[in-house]
Amino acid sequence: MKIINFNIVKLTALLILGVIIGSLNIFSIYESFTITTLLFALYTISFFIAKKRFIKTIWFGVISFLLMVSIGILTVNIHNQKNFKSHYSHTISSDSEALNIITFKIREVLKPGNYYDKYVIDILNIDGEKTTGKSLLNLQKDSLLTPLRIDAIYICKTKFKTLISPLNPNQFNYKKYLDKKYIYHQIFTTNEYLYNTNTKKQTLFGVAYDVREYINSKLKLYHFSPDELAIINALLLGQRQDISKEIYTNYTNAGAIHILAISGLHIGIILLILNFIFSPLVQIKYGSFIKTVLLLLILWSFAIVAELSASVTRAVTMFSIIAIAMNLKRPTNIFNTLAISIFVLLLIKPMFLFDVGFQLSYLAVLAIVVIDPILFKLCKPKNKILKFYWHTFTITISAQVGIIPISLYYFHEIASLFFISNLVIIPFLGVILSLGVLAILLAALNILPQIFADFYGNIIALVNNFIAWISQQNTFLIKHVSFNIGYVIASYILIVFIINFWKQKTFKSLKPVLLGIIIFQCTILYTKYNTPSNELIIFHKSRHSIIGQTSNNTINIADDLDSISKSKNKIIENFMVGNFIKHKTNNTLKNLYILNKETLFLIDSLGVYNVRNFKPDYILLRQSPKINLNRLIDSTKPRCIIADGSNYKSYIERWLNVCKKRKLPFHQTSKKGAFIIKY
């Protein structure tokens, strides 16, 4: 394929490889800097030797390859403030109960949880010592107080808490997610313990926050409903924190969630509108240059107002390159444009690579560029309206082919009616965005007619209602699809081979397709072979007990959950999807589980046990039994004591101390996660 002949594409691929290796923390910042410096010196020497001989040797290529990978590793290490002595993690005590006087600045407002408002903060000072680094702030909700403002500096006395790894198998790893954002700790506090320093220094992000707050304060005067206002914020200001769970779920199930994230689609439409508005400038001297500068200024100002989120940044970067090439008459290629934007973004923000939206966005664009021309040629309607809708349909299908494998890996579901929501909304998205920009400008100037505000609000409500209707067609929503990273790789290999065959239609190009099918079949067989069987899992669930036994692609569940808790519980669902288990049976909790040659004995709140006839290997304490643990250990001599999430914390601490003194393994599911016995 011609794509691999472009040098920038090769460099970008090598940089991506370097970022992946760097994220594994194999090399320290000192090692990566030393290796990069050495490779750069070798590259310089080999370059002049090759130039003198008018030929590039294999060593020049190898050194160039290694240098680019090394730059990717170094970039990851440089952006990780934890690698520097000033990072707060080198200042705080290892004692988790130690209190610190912390000075911090609000950096980013996150979507609030059930009990806490959440913020990303910059740690400026700890106990009088200057520091750097980001942390997560959990501020107890208080409906009487306004949210904290970006750039505001506060002082509080509290303790740092490490982020908790998932306690159950296949649960979303929030700790790993924050690690990719260089956030390693969190703090909890309330408004009454915060001291505002009333600083007036502002960054661009602070100014952007004030602009958004001003716009929202003006829009609220025109009686938009909370859902309408939340969609306006998402579409035009890049803020999705206020979108209700119901609306978000509707857009997800309808396959239209990308509409709520400012992406290439939105920025592309905005660029077309701005390009049309500024088109008269090309008639004057230096008009093309002035037009390009104005386009870039507006696009990046918009990106800053949208808080430079990952989706906005990548879209504006890509379309900035397109705007420059388009208006300065520079020849360009979409593959080069994509590669340059990825290259620039990863040098500035290397961890964007692991952002789900980043991956989906670029895969969708790449698929559209490669697949859409093939699909569009299948039918050529002469009617302009039919042609427009046919092209919208082919673009939608192409994008879905590009993102389905990675979407299944992350979300495990397919909204099969995605093409309907896209065919209805996308053709009018330009109008919706244009009217939204106009509404915001008029509201900011206090001249927005109420009739226009009502009209625009009705359009947003109509879109929400349509999306809600699509999402209710549950028959077409395929959920709980098991898909691992092996399936993702095999899928993309097969897709590439099929596209190549579709273009060439030769017997020679058919061979790779058959190879791709074999690779996919081997992946299925390998996955099936590694599906967990003959395991007993003691899951962690606060105030409850859940035990699962796997056998022959089936999991048998025993728990003490009520019907409401069962309907909301996703622990078993996540485990089944993540481990390719198709069937589930239900049972009641038993006092004794015989696992081949091992035994598990349960002691509940009654504290009754009689173990004269056997010695259990494992003992599970549940529902806070009032027992003398020393006496129990003496009479049973177990290999391990397990305490699940149904026990009181005070009981667990007492049992832990007993086991420490007796040098007996003690597994606390609330800290160590689910306990798995293989038999």
pLDDT band per the 50, 70, 90 thresholds, residue 119: very high
Distance CA 269, CA 435 (A): 13
| Cβ contact 412:252 at 8 Å | no
> In the prediction, which pLDDT does 5 show?
45
Higher-confidence position of 239 and 457: 457
In terms of residue numbers, what domain contains 567? 535-678
Pair 189, 286: CB distance under 8 Å: no
Tokens of residue 133, six digits: 């680094």
Is pLDDT at 578 greater than 80 in this prediction? yes
Residue 338 has pLDDT above 60, yes or no: yes
Same domain membership, residue 236 and residue 192? no
Supply 146's token pair. Answer: 């306004």
Residue 514, burial from CB neighbour count under 10 angstroms (0-12, 13-18, 19+): exposed
Residue that is last in its domain, among 54, 79, 104: 79
Structural domain ending residue among the three candidates 201, 221, 249: 201
Q: How far apart are CA 668 and CA 649, in angstroms?
A: 10
Is the same domain home to 418 and 312?
yes
User: In whole numbers, what is the pLDDT of the chain averaged over residues?
Assistant: 87
Q: Do residues 147 and 109 lie in contact, with contact meaning Cβ atoms separated by under 8 Å?
A: yes
pLDDT digits (tens, 9 = 90+) for 483-526: 999 999 999 999 999 999 998 888 888 999 999 999 999 999 99
Angle at 127 between CA 126 and CA 129, to 5 degrees: 65
CATH of the domain at 617: 3.60.15.10
Long-range contacts of 607-611 (CB under 8 A, 24+ apart): 609/636, 611/635, 611/636
User: Distance (Å, rounded) from C-alpha 352 to C-alpha 357?
Assistant: 9
Statement: the pTM of the whole predicted model exceeds 0.75 = yes
Closest CA to 300 of 281, 289, 316, 311: 316
Give the pLDDT confidence of 410-427 residue by residue, as tens digits. Answer: 989 888 777 788 788 878
Decide which of 380 and 548 is more confident: 548
Q: What is the CATH number of the domain that holds 197?
A: 2.40.50
Q: What is the mean pLDDT of residues 270-283?
A: 82
Angle at CA of residue 81, ends 80 and 84, nearest 5°: 120
Give me 425's structure tokens: 């909304």
Question: What is the average per-residue pLDDT within 106-125?
Answer: 90
Q: Number of structural domains, the chain?
A: 5
124 and 214, same domain (yes or no) = no
Tell me how far apart the alpha carbons of residues 463 and 251 are, in angstroms, rounded to a whole number: 10
pLDDT in tens, 241-271: 888 888 988 888 888 877 777 777 778 878 8
- Tell me if 338 sits within 8 A of 332, measured CB to CB: no
Shared-domain flag, residues 525 and 541? no
The token pair at 101 is 């006087």
Higher per-residue confidence, 381 vs 556: 556
Q: Name residue 218's amino acid.
A: K
Could you tell me the two tokens for 664? 């007996």
Answer yes or no: is pLDDT of 125 > 90: yes
584: helix, coil or strand?
A: strand
Return the beta strands (E) in 303-374 as ranges. Answer: none
Cα(509)–Cα(498) distance, rounded to whole angstroms? 9
Are 473 and 546 in the same domain? no
Q: Same structural domain for residues 491 and 625?
A: no
Asked if 562 and 661 sit in the same domain, the reply is yes
The verdict on 464 and 568 lying in the same domain is: no
Domain identity same for 258 and 407: yes
Q: With contact defined as beta carbons under 8 Å apart, do 415 and 477 qualify?
A: yes
Q: Are residues 58 and 127 in the same domain?
A: no
pLDDT at 1 over 50: no
Q: Are residues 471 and 373 in the same domain?
A: yes
| 423: Cα separation from own chain's centroid | 27
Q: Is residue 381 very low, low, confident or very high in pLDDT (cuts 50, 70, 90)? A: confident
Tokens found for residue 613: 């006839």
Sign of CA dihedral 98, 113, 211, 177: positive
Residues 59 and 181 in one domain: no
Residue 439: name the closest of 450, 429, 451, 453 by CA.
453
Provide mean pLDDT across the span 553-570: 88
Residue 485 tokens read as 């990273």
DSSP notation for 122-182 = EEEEETTEE-B-EEEEEEE--TTSPPPPTT-EEEEEE--EEPPPPSSTT---HHHHHHTTT
How far is it, in rounded angstroms, from Cα 320 to Cα 381? 33
pLDDT at 245: 86
For residue 178, what are its two tokens? 């924050």
The tens digit of pLDDT for each residue in 587-639 reads 899 989 999 889 999 999 888 877 666 789 999 999 999 999 998 898 888 99
More confident residue, 265 or 76: 76
Higher-confidence residue of 185 and 57: namely 185
Q: What is the rounded CA–CA span in Å between residue 126 and residue 148?
A: 20
Name the domain boundary from 166, 201, 236: 201
Q: pLDDT tens digits, residue range 105-114? A: 999 888 888 8
For 629-667, how does the pLDDT look when each residue is reduced to its tens digit (9 = 90+)? 998 898 888 999 999 999 999 999 999 999 999 999 999
